[in-house]
Amino acid sequence: MFDRLKTLYELQKIDDQLDELEELRGDLPTAVESLQERISQIKNEMADKEKQREESLEKRQGNEEEIEKLQANQKKFKAQLYQVRNNKEYDALTKEIDHTEEQTTKLLTENDSLADQSKILADDIEKIKPQLEELKEELKIKGADLKEIVKANEKEEGKLKAHRKEIVEKTKKPDYSAYMRIRKAKKGKAVVTIKRSACSGCHNIVPSQRQLEIRRNNKLFFCEYCGRILVSPEISEQADA
Ligand SMILES: [Zn+2]
């Protein structure tokens, strides 16, 4: 049992060191991640606008071709006007001419608004571009900072992780799950000792009877206030030695 408790304490010690390394990174990992997200958002937004612009351009070209056809037809109809033989033919032709005129006007108006839309989209894209560049630059700097910190501690972290693995292998499965559960809930410390008669995790006094029991090192004890695993000073002294 003594070894079982000692193993848990050692696991905590390793995790404390790993946490310290993690802390060195500060908010860089989160910052880098949110920059990456923002950049991909903006890229999508830009691609979307580009696509709309292309579609608008295609539609305009289609309309222009249509207008050309309409105008050619109109010219033909106008020429035919000179050859009409009766009022009925004349009316039919003028009706056609009016119709092509209407269609042309409609398409021209549509093209005007498509051109306006394209202009707005182009302006938007131009406005977004520097934003994107700025974010990319920021990401470059923060990413490099993070990489540097990670690299500086790579060896140490690797060693600690390897050591942690060994300890985890020695840890009993239920102990490990309890440890991980408490560690998550308490954001770090799951195994603590008694210091000056108090739980070093929450600083509440541990009753003396309980302290005696804990000192026997023959059972897993949890602090009745914070729920952390409480080990005797002997365990910590041995593990720290
Ligand atoms: Zn406590």
Please give the Cα distance from 200 to 228 (Å, whole number). Answer: 10
pLDDT score at 28: 94
Q: Which residues surround ligand 1, an ion (CB under 5 A)?
A: 199, 201-202, 223, 225-226
Condensed to tens digits (0 to 9), the pLDDT of residues 24-80 reads 899 999 999 999 999 999 999 999 999 999 999 999 999 999 999 999 999 999 999
Ligand 1 centroid–CA 217 distance in Å is: 17
Low-confidence ranges of the chain (pLDDT < 70): none
Ligand 1 centroid–CA 201 distance in Å is: 5
Ligand 1 centroid–CA 229 distance in Å is: 8
Ordered DSSP codes for 78-136: HHHGGG--SHHHHHHHHHHHHHHHHHHHHHHHHHHHHHHHHHHHHHHHHHHHHHHHHHH
Cβ atoms of residues 206 and 231 within 8 Å? no
Cβ atoms of residues 220 and 229 within 8 Å? yes
Ligand 1 centroid–CA 227 distance in Å is: 6
Q: What is the dihedral of CA 219, 225, 228, 233, to 10 degrees?
A: -60
Q: Which two tokens stand for residue 238?
A: 């041995």
Tallying the residues shown for the chain, one arrives at 241
pLDDT score at 84: 87
Distance in Å from the first CA to the final CA of the chain:
19
Cβ atoms of residues 65 and 73 within 8 Å? no
Q: What is the dihedral of CA 37, 43, 46, 47, to 10 degrees?
A: -120
Q: Is 228 helix (H, G, I), strand (E, B) or coil?
A: coil
Q: Which two tokens stand for residue 217?
A: 């090192």
Distances (CA, A) of 41 to 35, 102, 144: 10, 43, 22
The amino acid that residue 31 corresponds to is: A
Ligand 1 centroid–CA 222 distance in Å is: 8
What is the number of other CB atoms lying within 10 angstroms of the CB of residue 165?
Answer: 11
Q: Output the pTM of the full model.
A: 0.66
Ligand 1 centroid–CA 202 distance in Å is: 4
Q: Which two tokens stand for residue 123?
A: 């302006």
192 φ/ψ angles, rounded to the nearest 5 degrees: -135, 165
